[in-house]
Amino acid sequence: MNSRSTPREQLLQAGSRLLGQIDMTDLARALSISAVVDEAGLSHQTFHNTYPGSSRAGGTGGKEAFVEDLLDNLTVNYSGLEAADSNSVKPGEFTGPVSALFDDLVSGLMRRRLIAILLSGDNDGARKAVAPEFERFDVDFRSVVGEAIQSQGGSVRQPLSVASLSTVLVALLDGLALREMLTPGAIAARDVATATESILRWAVDPLHSDRNTPAPEPTESGDDLNLLRPDLEADIIAATETLFVDHGYFLGPTSGLERIDLNIVPLIEYADTLMLTRGILRTTIPPTYTRGIVLRASGGPSILKELSDEEIAVSIDEAIRLNVAAMAVQVFIGGEHETRSVHNMTRLVDMGNRHGIATLAVTAVGKEMVRDAQYMRLATRMCAELGATYVKTYYVEEDFDTVTASCPVPIVIAGGKKLPEPDALQLAHNAVQQGAAGVDMGRNIFQSEAPAAMIQAVRAVVHENLSPTDAYDLYLTLKENNKQSAES
């Protein structure tokens, strides 16, 4: 203790130290005169000489005078956060600095900070003393949140800002810390990390962030599920294998889709994303599926009518409720109702942009139109120019690389009609090699002799750059293994 400190200063310093140690459930008793004088290394007589009078019979001396003096001069002495080494943080590991603050909040300086709030509820002096510490902490915390967003692409969803997001997160951490202090062991640090990670990942704007941000590593089976589905664009850029099962919205129960619960649900674990209607999502797809959902958002005519006569069939509120990553809309370039279909797309783009939901433009080719690179360049470029986040189109044998080169947004290719398995794998390989970001296959998977083996073979082509020959060998091996497992 500094020999030049007065007894009053020593007593105040001792009281401040005790605030960092006391049990919140036993505040009054823990902050006793005996504890204070022992901590200060002084005598009871010195205490009473410093704070004369009695608190009994309505007096203002003794302990009450000391507590009031302590609150008037309380400071948390917040020293600031240590700067994180950005070079040592891997992409996707952005929640460490945020969730780690939980330990500081329930112990040490931050514990004292929260106790100070409770003690200063009716004391202006204490509030004024603590306010600068809060401001410093909030500024530092905002920097941590900003770095977290920057590591995932640098843009936050509108109408949020980094400041408002950090305010929400610090309030969450304060609340969790207070509960942990009142009921030790009630809150696990792992739960805090999961919550902050989910909020931060959701807060990243999928439309305006840097696309080169790598996708996070998948979690091991049995880990807590992240119920916020990831944004689709990261999946697309990293190469996507989408299972396309929305045929029923105009075809009805086509072959292979009669029983989606039996034929499709066993396949979804192998798909990066699912493209389907809201009816199937709600009634059939298990809520444990946490990857990207592409929601069919346009519709109207059946196969018996003019297919280009579509309208928007899903509201943006419904898409938000379903927590989808993207909305898919058919665009009929050259079709009878071309303008309406284009306006359907632009309206979805506007609505999706406001809420951070991507728009997939699906280029449809009429029976009278030629499926060549010239048409595909026209259709995909129009969709991109008018705001589509990415485009689904058909692969063409000649000059497909000019289609992907002239389209400024990612392209995924449709599988089209059912092909023999080697031909479908060759098609997927050629498309990816010529610039496609991935494939969106339906009939070539669920109408295959071995759908589970086929979707895994296609996935290997897209993600592992497997050759068509090797992919077909993988398909045959998996098919045989599945057959033996079924027979055993």
The string of pLDDT tens digits covering residues 27-74 is 444 567 777 788 788 888 888 888 886 655 555 567 777 776 776 665
Residues 275 and 357 in one domain: yes
- Where among 359, 382, 416 does a domain terminate? 416
The answer to whether residue 216 sits within a structural domain is no
14-23, 35-44, 98-107, 396-405: range with highest mean pLDDT: 396-405
Identify the domain containing residue 120 by its residue range: 86-203
Q: What is the mean pLDDT of residues 387-402?
A: 92
- The pLDDT score that the predictor gives to residue 269 is 87
The answer to whether residue 461 sits within a structural domain is no
**From the candidates 90, 392, 418, 479, which is the catalytic residue?**
392
- Where among 371, 400, 416 does a domain terminate? 416
Provide the pLDDT confidence category of residue 112 given band limits of 50, 70 and 90: low
Residue 329 tokens read as: 């809309």
The reply to whether the predicted model has a pTM over 0.85 is no
Residues 164 and 265 in one domain: no
The answer to whether residue 453 sits within a structural domain is no
- The pLDDT score that the predictor gives to residue 240 is 59
Residues 198 and 317 in one domain: no
Residues 95 and 143 in one domain: yes
Residues 311 and 387 in one domain: yes
- Mean of the per-residue pLDDT values of the chain: 75
The answer to whether residue 342 sits within a structural domain is yes
Q: What is the four-CA torsion angle of 441, 446, 452, 455, rounded to 10 degrees?
A: -10
Is 392 an active-site residue? yes
The answer to whether residue 421 sits within a structural domain is no
Residues 32 and 179 in one domain: no
Residues 367 and 241 in one domain: yes
The answer to whether residue 132 sits within a structural domain is yes
Total number of domains in the chain: 3
Asked if pLDDT for residue 487 goes beyond 90, the answer is: no
Nearest to 16 by CA among 70, 93, 78, 60: 70
The answer to whether residue 265 sits within a structural domain is yes
Residues 264 and 376 in one domain: yes
- The pLDDT score that the predictor gives to residue 85 is 44
Residues 396 and 306 in one domain: yes
The string of pLDDT tens digits covering residues 157-215 is 666 777 778 788 877 877 777 777 677 777 777 777 777 777 777 777 654 444 333 44
Residue located via tokens 């062991």? 185
Provide the pLDDT confidence category of residue 341 given band limits of 50, 70 and 90: very high
The answer to whether residue 261 sits within a structural domain is yes
- The pLDDT score that the predictor gives to residue 346 is 95
Q: Which CATH number do you get for residue 257? A: 3.20.20.70
Q: What is the mean pLDDT of residues 313-334?
A: 90
- The pLDDT score that the predictor gives to residue 92 is 42
Residues 243 and 364 in one domain: yes
- The pLDDT score that the predictor gives to residue 171 is 79
